[in-house]
A and B are shown apart, each in its own frame.
Chain A
Amino acid sequence: KSTASKDSTTEGASKRQEGTAGTPKQKLLEIIGNMKVEVSYRKKLQELKASESKKQAMNRLEGPNGEGPQRTTEDLQRLNPELVKAASAVASSLPLNKKQTESELLAQLRRHEETTDKQRRVGTVNIRNVISEMTVKRQSPAQRGVRISRRISLEFDEDGQRLRPERFSSQSFDSRSLKEGKRLNIFTKASTEPERALETVSSPTIWDLEFAKEIAALTAQPPRNGFEEMIQWTKEGILWEFPIDNEVGMDDDAEFHEHIFLEKHLEGFPKEGPIRHFMELVICGLSKNPYLSVKQKIEHIEWFEKYFEEKKEFLQEI
């Protein structure tokens, strides 16, 4: 029964395409023509948009077929009322056999809704699709022997270069390329996780920290090989990261002129006298110092400023 109605809708579609007029109608017709059992969100959006535009068109037309879709009320309640109105408007705008086309459109919509519900419940994994793409790979006995021997021993030259260069990653995919084929939709995007993560913990309690430490201590297996040992050492900070970055830990954002021209920090000092002489020597030494950051140099000068401030009365006696 469904196939018969589908055939008649395709016939109706071909007839409809002849009698089109106006862009919203054309859009809707294209959509109905492209409707298949496989659901895609894009098409649903398109349908909704088309139904919006169709609603406006219907308000303009507003024929006597407003009371058309009263047939199976429960089905129609499941369906989007806008889509229903759009279907009735389309049926009304078409030249021939209005009631039949309307019923066919509604049947299409119902099927559409059923499939979306099913797919929403079950998930988009269709095992048949997955298995249809898989094929059993056959190895020739000669190739198999070669592969086993390759797995058992990695044979090296005297230089350390491999005897058999690896061409076999491209060969195994000879029969089918990696970029063809239908999408299986097995891996879904984890889009909702970062939103959830922000909601939960404001500040971890001591018990949480202890628990985390316990888990880390339990799961920290001793390294199985030299690579894992080196990874562990890098995490601890024992081993540097390669390629070696000469400026690790040195976040000095200051330019060279802030290091060298330090005279502007000497404003708190008297302009004449031995103290000024002393401070100019200090600044000369600091400008040649590559090991201190600008902040440390400024602190140095400020310490002297404070010290001489405290000794001011004493100095004036002299």
Chain B
Amino acid sequence: MAAAALSWALRAARQVLPSPCPGQVRSYYVDWRMLRDVKRRKLAYEYADERLRINAIRKNSILPKELQEVADKEIAALPRDSCPVRIRNRCVLTSRPRGVRRRWRLSRIVFRHFADHAQMSGVQRAMW
């Protein structure tokens, strides 16, 4: 179990992005927290349909309550990382958990850095 997880993690860490681009080439995730976040996103994607359906049974006033209790237990039995609530929108470049602008998926510091170097399309310093 641990070996499988380790091999999975190693394979994930060694993902090579397509190379012929003049910018930075990143072959690893920034840190382990980012890796864990990636794992959670993948699991959430896999179990999304099931969770939706079981929740539709649970949040219901028509079906009998016993059925809903059974559904409660079922959804609790799913892997913990499959719930979308555990996903954190981290910065894509620095893995910073806070201060992340959702449109660019970047933390405020990185965003400011690129915008000042005119590498963000359509972004300008505000002045009014």
Contacts and interface: CB of A to CB of B under 8 A. Distances in A.
| Interface residue tally on A, bucketed by range | 10 to 19
Interface in B39-89: 49-50, 53, 56-57, 60, 62-64, 66-67, 70
Given A277-B62, A278-B62, A282-B56, 11 more contacts: A222-B20, A222-B22, A275-B63, A278-B60, A278-B63, A300-B49, A303-B50, A307-B53, A315-B64, A315-B67, A318-B66
Main secondary structure of the interface of A (DSSP, over half): helix
Nearest to B66: A318
A290 interface: no
A233 to B, nearest CB: 11
B46 to A, nearest CB: 15
| Interface residue tally on B, bucketed by range | 10 to 19
Interface of B: 20, 22, 49-50, 53, 56-57, 60, 62-64, 66-67, 70
A281 B59 CA distance: 13
Contacts of A318: 64, 66
6 contacts: A274-B64, A278-B57, A278-B63, A303-B49, A311-B67, A314-B67
A220 B20 contact: yes
Contacts of B67: 311, 314-315
A261 interface: no
B62 A300 contact: no
A269 interface: no
Interface in A168-205: none
A304 interface: yes
Given A311-B67, A311-B70, A300 B53 contact: yes
A217 B16 CA distance: 14
A278 B57 CA distance: 9
Interface in A295-318: 300, 303-304, 307, 311, 314-315, 318
Nearest to A278: B62
A307 B60 CA distance: 16
B53 A304 contact: yes
Nearest to B56: A282
Given A275-B63, A278-B60, A303 B53 contact: yes
B63 A314 contact: no
A165 B123 CA distance: 39
Nearest to A296: B49
A318 B64 CA distance: 9
Contacts of B62: 274, 277-278, 281
